Amino acid sequence: MIPRFYNKKIKVGFLILTFSLIIFYILNVNIINNEISQELLESHALYQSKRSPFNPRYSTNEVFNYINNEETPIASKLGDGIVFHWDDWVDLSSGDKILNKYKKNNPNGECDEFLKKYASVNGYYMESYNKKIYRGMSNLYCLKEIPSKIIAVSDDNFVEIPVINKLRIGLNNETIHKQPTKHDLINQISRFDSKPNENFQIFKFRHLQKQIDVKAEDFVFNPNLEIFKLQKKLNDDSITNDELNYLKFLEYADSIVDSADRFFKYPWIYSDVVKGRSHHLAYPFFKRFIGDRERQSVIHHMVRAWFKFAEANNFASWVNYGSLLGWAYNGVNMPWDTDIDIQLPIAHLDRLAREFNQSLILENPRYGNSKYLLEVSPTYIRQGNGRNFIDARFIDINSGLYIDISALSHSNFNPPKEFYNDLPWDQQVDHSKAMSIHCKNWNWHSLEEILPIRHTWFEGASIYIPHNVSRILTRKYGKSSFTTKSHFANHNYQKDINMWVPDEICSKSPSLNNRFQNLNQTKLTLEGACNNPILQDEYQIIAECAHRHLKTNIDVDHFTDYDILKLNDLPLFRKDSWDYFNDLNLGLVNTDRWYVRDDVL
């Protein structure tokens, strides 16, 4: 097997030699139950990054050139806005075997009928690992809708940039474009913020509030009524263009919601049917399995990006379920959790769909290189056939990892009897007093356990959570889940360090008097980390998040009187995942630690 390369100089040559053999064996040969080691996943990522000319800063830099009024090849000649081709924005090099020929013959990014047909196979069609990747990369290259707009994020502003037409520039080419550095991008941000360009639609960055009380009406959405109202306007000739488009959309959505296939797809792969490693990666963005630590980095960055975007646009959303359970322990996601679950009122989702469906939101380049595609399923308008219970996704386009977004609504359906058991007494006695809301996967809530949503920190970032966390977690996972349970998914919770530790590293806290390196307990000694440098690194990453959690929460429902602005968000502690692999490949770092400390402004 691949040796551990932690904290040693990476033996890239060795890895590449052994690599292709092992990967072929493990990923393609049908070893249904095989564990893939984290080392192998990391070395695969390292290998892909080394071979690829892709650099996410190219496209970000051109976007800032565009909004800073500089020359840029992405300015569209057909109107105010930019051109877009997925090949300039996502690393499609895993599909090179198929796509190279096309890039060469048609640098503008066109496809022929043959490739289009190849790319149009449903992601759920069961295939081999490699074939699935070729399909996904070809799908992005040829068929996937381009975003309707790009949203660039600076320190003070969100800037909307229309996408006008599909055209490949060939940005990821060192021989024609200079590689921008992080420093270059920070200068771009400062230039924009010091003199925002008036030609763009801008919305301002805002800090999250202590709490938000959402109107009860926001949980009600009746597509038939909306259609009826819009038809009336159509008859009166008083309908606007936007309204007409909305009417057409609602009529279309209403006609398909009872028969629609799943809108959000993950790749189905023979060798993955049992383990399901690909079930948390969006097709067609999937290009490899993602290791645990890379995933945690993507999530760490993604949560911040979502809540900043939502706050600036007045969408009230909150974290629930697995992510909320993770929060209840130590203020971070549980290390084995594969996604983030977010909910919002149906009326907010409706507005999100109308204003931002198919928007590509950039991460502030000061913090990382990610880009997130917001996609809303047309089936959100009502319950439908039950195949589409996720209403929207916020997808990291370079890994395929995502935030699941579900709307809660009050409907004509009645909750099961058990739903009333843990409600306040008067609502148990008189069911008509309980205001029930649910998502399309039949998770029921009462309005007063959600509202008002309140501020907290998760992964060091400001987020919102529901009002009555204890009731929600008890109903979903049982009372012990967040009070006494200290063993989950082959991890044990070590109270002295506020952390889930894999049993294979150590099954309980070691009894030592020198577990910590320093008085403020932000670093473990190697012994204190059960002689495992990864645990040492992980602890340094979560220590301050966990400390903040304990300091600002009395229990899951009660918090101390803190000042959001004074405490501020914590720094980013997980390195950007593209930087992580790139820095190792270029020899810019000599340790493979994920820990960083990037202060937020």
Contacts of 404 (CB under 8 A, 6+ apart): 339, 340, 341, 342, 390, 393
Please, what is the minimum distance in Å from the beta carbon of residue 49 to ligand NAG?
16
Any contact of residue 557 with ligand NAG (CB under 6 A)?
A: yes
Site stretch for ligand NAG (CB under 6 A), options 2-10, 171-179, 237-245, 338-346: 171-179
- The residue among 202, 441, 267, 450 whose CA lies nearest residue 348 is 450
Please, what is the minimum distance in Å from the beta carbon of residue 260 to ligand NAG?
10
Any contact of residue 422 with ligand NAG (CB under 6 A)?
A: yes
CA angle (333, 336, 339) in 5-degree steps? 60
- The residue among 351, 283, 314, 246 whose CA lies nearest residue 464 is 314
Any contact of residue 170 with ligand NAG (CB under 6 A)?
A: yes
Figure out which of the listed residues 73, 162, 424, 452 binds ligand NAG, where binding follows CB under 6 A.
424
Q: Which lies closer to ligand NAG via its Cβ, residue 19 or residue 559?
A: 559
For 31-43, the three-class secondary structure string (H helix, E strand, C coil) is CCCCCCCHHHHHH
Q: Which lies closer to ligand NAG via its Cβ, residue 496 or residue 503?
A: 496
Q: Which lies closer to ligand NAG via its Cβ, residue 176 or residue 244?
A: 176
**What is the token pair recorded at 67?**
């909004």
Site stretch for ligand NAG (CB under 6 A), options 311-319, 372-380, 493-501, 559-567: 372-380
**What is the token pair recorded at 103?**
């890039």
Cβ atoms < 10 Å from Cβ of 1: 8
Any contact of residue 155 with ligand NAG (CB under 6 A)?
A: no
DSSP assignment of 130-199, as one string? HHHHHHHHHHHHHTSPPPSEEEEE-SSEEEEEEEEEE-----S-TTTSPPPPHHHHHHHHHHHHHS--TT
CA 221 to chain centre: 26
Provide the Cα torsion 325, 327, 330, 336; round to 10°. Answer: 60
Q: Which lies closer to ligand NAG via its Cβ, residue 55 or residue 188?
A: 55
CA angle (45, 577, 352) in 5-degree steps? 120
Any contact of residue 145 with ligand NAG (CB under 6 A)?
A: yes
Cα(273)–Cα(259) distance, rounded to whole angstroms?
25
Please, what is the minimum distance in Å from the beta carbon of residue 514 to ligand NAG?
14
For the segment 327-366, give every residue that binds ligand NAG (CB under 6 A).
353, 357-358
Any contact of residue 173 with ligand NAG (CB under 6 A)?
A: yes
Site stretch for ligand NAG (CB under 6 A), options 56-64, 370-378, 405-413, 437-445: 370-378
* Parallel/antiparallel/unpaired status of strands 402-408 and 340-345: parallel
284-323 footprint of ligand NAG as x/- string (CB under 6 A): ----------------------------------------
**H helix or E strand, kind and range, residue 580:** helix 577-585
CA 36 to chain centre: 23
CA 255 to chain centre: 30
Please, what is the minimum distance in Å from the beta carbon of residue 221 to ligand NAG?
13
Please, what is the minimum distance in Å from the beta carbon of residue 445 to ligand NAG?
12
Q: Which lies closer to ligand NAG via its Cβ, residue 30 or residue 122?
A: 122
Provide the Cα torsion 385, 352, 406, 153; round to 10°. Answer: 140
CA 52 to chain centre: 23
For the segment 21-60, give every residue that binds ligand NAG (CB under 6 A).
53
Please, what is the minimum distance in Å from the beta carbon of residue 411 to ligand NAG?
19
Any contact of residue 176 with ligand NAG (CB under 6 A)?
A: yes
Q: What's the chain's length in residues?
A: 601
Among all chains, which residue has been given the structure tokens 């997808």?
395
Any contact of residue 175 with ligand NAG (CB under 6 A)?
A: yes
Contact 253, 223 (CB under 8 A): yes
Any contact of residue 522 with ligand NAG (CB under 6 A)?
A: yes
Number of residues interacting with ligand NAG: please give it, by CB under 6 A: 24
For the segment 378-407, give every residue that binds ligand NAG (CB under 6 A).
378
CA angle (315, 318, 322) in 5-degree steps? 150
For the segment 70-109, give every residue that binds ligand NAG (CB under 6 A).
103
Site stretch for ligand NAG (CB under 6 A), options 124-132, 238-246, 336-344, 515-523: 515-523
SS3 109: coil
Please, what is the minimum distance in Å from the beta carbon of residue 279 to ligand NAG?
22
Instruction: Enumerate the β-bridge partners of residue 555.
Output: 558
Instruction: Enumerate the β-bridge partners of residue 162.
Output: 149
457-476 footprint of ligand NAG as x/- string (CB under 6 A): -----------x-xx-----
Any contact of residue 249 with ligand NAG (CB under 6 A)?
A: yes
Contact 473, 556 (CB under 8 A): yes
Q: Which lies closer to ligand NAG via its Cβ, residue 353 or residue 390?
A: 353
Figure out which of the listed residues 194, 421, 514, 518 binds ligand NAG, where binding follows CB under 6 A.
518
Any contact of residue 520 with ligand NAG (CB under 6 A)?
A: yes
Q: Which lies closer to ligand NAG via its Cβ, residue 325 or residue 376?
A: 376
Q: Which residues bind ligand NAG (CB under 6 A)?
A: 53, 103, 145, 170, 173, 175-176, 249, 353, 357-358, 375-376, 378, 422, 424, 468, 470-471, 518, 520, 522, 544, 557
